[in-house]
Amino acid sequence: MKDLAGMDIPTFDDVLAAHDRIRPYIHRTPVLTSAFLNALTGAELFFKCENFQKAGAFKVRGASNAVFGLADDQLARGVATHSSGNHALSLSYAAGRRGIPCTVVMPRTAPQAKKDAVRGYGGFIVECEPSTSSREAVFAGVVAASGADFVHPYNDPRVIAGQATCSRELLEQVPGLDAVIAPIGGGGMISGTCLTVSSTAPGVQVYAAEPAQADDAARSFRAGHIIADDAPDTVADGLKVPLKDLTWHFVKNHVSDIFTASEAEIIAAMRLTWARMKMVIEPSCAVPLATILNNPDVFRGRRVGVIITGGNVDLDKLPWMQG
Amino acid sequence: MKDLAGMDIPTFDDVLAAHDRIRPYIHRTPVLTSAFLNALTGAELFFKCENFQKAGAFKVRGASNAVFGLADDQLARGVATHSSGNHALSLSYAAGRRGIPCTVVMPRTAPQAKKDAVRGYGGFIVECEPSTSSREAVFAGVVAASGADFVHPYNDPRVIAGQATCSRELLEQVPGLDAVIAPIGGGGMISGTCLTVSSTAPGVQVYAAEPAQADDAARSFRAGHIIADDAPDTVADGLKVPLKDLTWHFVKNHVSDIFTASEAEIIAAMRLTWARMKMVIEPSCAVPLATILNNPDVFRGRRVGVIITGGNVDLDKLPWMQG
C-alpha cells in the first residue's frame, strides 16, 4: 500500500505472507512469566522471549522475510546492510540459509561477540566510525560496488512486516492483553507491533521504551516530527539509531506513549531480569522493564506483553561489573 | 513400596500424585533447542529448562511435594533441611506458600545470592562448615530442638517422586527421545528420571553427568557400592554431595552410564550455553553438555533430553571471569 508521500507501507496481509515465508527459519519463542516481577510491578507481565530466537534476536524475522522474498535475479548480488549489531547477525544468518552473499557495514566499536557472530554466519564486515553519518557514507560505497539489495535494519516494509510476526505470536500465546511494550531505537519492532495490534487487537495499547540518553523517539513523539541525534551514548547499544519516515508513520499513528529510563535504571533492570528470570538479555531489552518500574501507575493491574528483543551480549563485559 | 531392606521406594503412582499435588506451585518449564549445539555435538538436544522453574531450580518439585503432603499435625513445627543451595531455596519457597516455618542448615561458603534468596522466601538459615560431616552434625541439633520434619534434599521418597515430574513433562513435550541426561550429585534428579523413564518409556536410556573432581557417583557405579567423599571441590557446587541408599537404588538399577568432565570443560560448556542459548545456568547443569562433548560417539545421531537443573548463580562472580 502506498501512502500520499509514496511510502510503501506494509499491511497485515504482508504480515501473514511474511509469517508463512519465514516460519521454517525462525523459532516460535516462548512466553515466560515471573511471580517476583509481577509482585514488584503490580502488573501481570508476559515476556515474549526473542532472546531465544535464531541468531539471538527478533531481527531475524524481518531479515528472513527480506532474504526469502528476494527475486531470483538478485540472488547472486546478495544483500547488504548497516547495523549496530543484531540486524547484522540476522541478515547474515538468513543469507547463509539461502546461500547468498551478505555484506555488513558495522561500527568498529560494536561488541566483539557480534562481529564474531556475523562472521560465524558467513557475513562479510566492512567497518565504519560509530556515527550515523559515517555509517551511511561507507555503506553507499559498498552498495555501489556490489549491487547488493539494501535491507535496511528497520525502515523497510519487508523488515517491518517480518518483525510484526512477533506480536502476532504473542497475541496468540497470551489472551486478553491490555498493552504491549517494546524498546524503540529505529522503530522496526514498534512499527511491526503497531501493525499487528492495530489490525487484530486495536484495543491493546502499544507503548515504547527508550534510554533517556538516546531519547530522540520520545522527543519526536512530543514534537510531532522526527528529531534525529547523530551519535547518542547509551549502554543500550541497539537503540542508538533514529526514526525514519516509515517507522515514524507507525509511531505517530499507533503508539500511546514513549517512556524513558536512565542508564543506571536500565542496568538494574537488566541485572534483575538475569537474576530472577535466568535469561541472558541485552541492555536494550531491559529498557521496557525499567520504564514499567518508573511508571507504576500506567501498568498496575494490567496484563502487559513485554518484548524481550535479544540476548546478544559480550559475556566478558557485563555492565554491572564495570566502573 | 518397601524393599527387602525396608527402604520406602517411590512408585510411579507416587509421581502421578506428586504432579497433581504440586502443579499449582510450579511452572511447566519450556524445552528449548539450539541448532548451533546440535551441529557441534551431532546430536539432537532438547533442553528441559528447569532454570526457569519457580525458585530457579527443579528442586522446587520435590520440596513442594513434601511440604504440600505434610499432615496437619506437623504444620506448626514446619520443615527443616540441609542443602548446598537450591533445595534450601525450594523448601523455603514451598514452606512460604503453605505458610509454615522452614529452617535451613547451609555451608557458610554457599553463594551469597542463595543465602539472600532463602531469606527472601522466608527461610531461616543456620550456618555450618562446608563438609558433609559438619552439616549433618549441626542439622541433628536443629531437628532435635524444633521438631521440624526433615525433608532431605534427595534421599527422600517424597522428594524423588517430585523430581520425577520433570522427566514426565519432558517425555510429553518431546516424543521419540533416545536418551535423557542429567547431572548427578546426591542423585535426586537422576532417581526421579529413572523412576519416570523406567515406568513409562523403558527404551529410553538414562545417563548421569558428574564433575571429574567430585566423581563419587561414577566411582560408586563402577565399584557396585556407594563411595562417599567428605568435601569434594568443584565449581559445580550443587553436585558435591554423595549418593545415599535410596538414590543408589535407582542409579544402580536404571542408569546406563555416568560420564565426567573437568572443571575447565564445565566452565566452557556453561559459557557456551549462556552465549548461544541466552540462558543463565548454573555450573552444575553445564556438566551434561560438557560430557556430551566429551563422548560424541555415545550421543551422535540420537535425540537426547538434557535436564537444565537450575539458574541460581552469583552474577558478580562468574567462573570465566576469575583467575
**B109 falls in which pLDDT band (50, 70, 90)?**
confident
Going by the DSSP 8-state scheme, the letter that residue B225 receives in this structure is S
Going by the DSSP 8-state scheme, the letter that residue A83 receives in this structure is -
How near does any CA of chain B get to the CA of A101, in Å? 21
In chain A, residues with a C-beta closer than 8 Å to the C-beta of B30 are 30, 32
A38 and A47 Cβ atoms separated by less than 8 Å: no
Q: Check residue B138 and give its pLDDT.
A: 93
pLDDT higher for B212 or A228?
A: B212
A169 and A294 Cβ atoms separated by less than 8 Å: no
Q: Which of A35, A274, A311 comes nearest B315 by C-beta?
A: A274
In chain B, residues with a C-beta closer than 8 Å to the C-beta of A56 are 278
Which phi and psi (to 5°) does residue B40 adopt?
-65, -35
**Secondary structure of residue A96 in the 3-state scheme:** helix
- The span from the CA of B264 to the CA of A105, in Å, is 36
CA nearest neighbour of A188 among A210, A211, A167, A164 = A164
Q: What count of CB pairs under 8 Å joins A to B?
A: 49
The mean pLDDT of chain B is 94
CA nearest neighbour of B250 among B163, B146, B125 = B163
Contact B278 A51 (CB under 8 A): yes
Topology (CATH level 3) of domain A60-150: Rossmann fold (3.40.50)
Contact A113 B35 (CB under 8 A): no
How would you write the pLDDT of chain A (323 residues) with one tens digit per residue? 677 677 899 999 999 999 999 999 999 999 999 999 999 999 999 999 999 999 889 999 999 999 999 999 999 999 999 886 889 999 999 999 999 999 999 889 887 877 888 999 999 999 999 887 888 899 999 999 999 999 999 999 999 999 999 999 999 999 999 999 999 999 999 999 999 999 999 999 999 999 999 999 999 999 999 998 877 899 998 898 899 999 999 999 999 999 999 999 999 999 999 999 999 999 999 999 999 999 999 999 999 999 999 998 888 888 988 64
Chain B residues contacting A via beta carbons under 8 Å: 30, 32, 35, 51-52, 54, 56, 113, 271, 274-275, 277-281, 311, 315-316, 318, 320-321
Q: How does pLDDT run across B123-143, given as a tens digit for each residue?
A: 999 999 988 788 889 999 999
Domain ranges of chain A: 12-57+156-321, 60-150
Cell numbers linked to A191: 512499527
C-alpha distances (whole Å) from B120 to each of B126, B139, B263 are 15, 21, 31
Strand partners for B300: none
Q: Which of A51, A278, A316 comes nearest B311 by C-beta?
A: A278
Q: Check residue A130 and give its pLDDT.
A: 83
CATH assignment, B12-58+156-321:
3.40.50.1100
Q: Which of B32, B113, B318 comes nearest A52 by C-beta?
A: B32
In chain B, residues with a C-beta closer than 8 Å to the C-beta of A320 are 315-316
In chain B, residues with a C-beta closer than 8 Å to the C-beta of A47 are none
CATH assignment, A12-57+156-321:
3.40.50.1100
B51 and B32 Cβ atoms separated by less than 8 Å: no
Q: How does pLDDT run across B159-172, given as a tens digit for each residue?
A: 999 999 999 999 99
Contact A32 B35 (CB under 8 A): no
Q: Which of B51, B278, B318 comes nearest A56 by C-beta?
A: B278
Q: Which of A275, A280, A318 comes nearest B278 by C-beta?
A: A280
Contact A278 B318 (CB under 8 A): no
Q: Check residue A260 and give its pLDDT.
A: 98
Contact B30 A35 (CB under 8 A): no
Q: How does pLDDT run across B262-272, given as a tens digit for each residue?
A: 999 999 999 99
Decide whether A12-57+156-321 matches A60-150 in CATH topology. yes
How near does any CA of chain A get to the CA of B311, in Å? 6
Which phi and psi (to 5°) does residue A277 adopt?
-105, -5
Strands (E), B147-302: 149-150, 179-183, 205-211, 255-261
Quick one: angle between helices A112-120 and A86-98, nearest 10? 10
Q: Check residue B24 and give its pLDDT.
A: 97
- The span from the CA of A48 to the CA of B7, in Å, is 46
Going by the DSSP 8-state scheme, the letter that residue B82 receives in this structure is E
Q: Check residue B4 and give its pLDDT.
A: 62
**Secondary structure of residue B122 in the 3-state scheme:** coil
**Per-residue exposure over A24-33, b if at least 16 CB sit within 10 Å of its own CB, e if not:** ebbbebbbbe
Selected residue of A25, A277, A278, A279 to mutate for chain B interface (largest B Cβ count, 10 A):
A278
Q: Check residue B274 and give its pLDDT.
A: 96
Cell numbers linked to B302: 540420537
In chain B, residues with a C-beta closer than 8 Å to the C-beta of A51 are 278
How near does any CA of chain A get to the CA of B52, in Å? 6
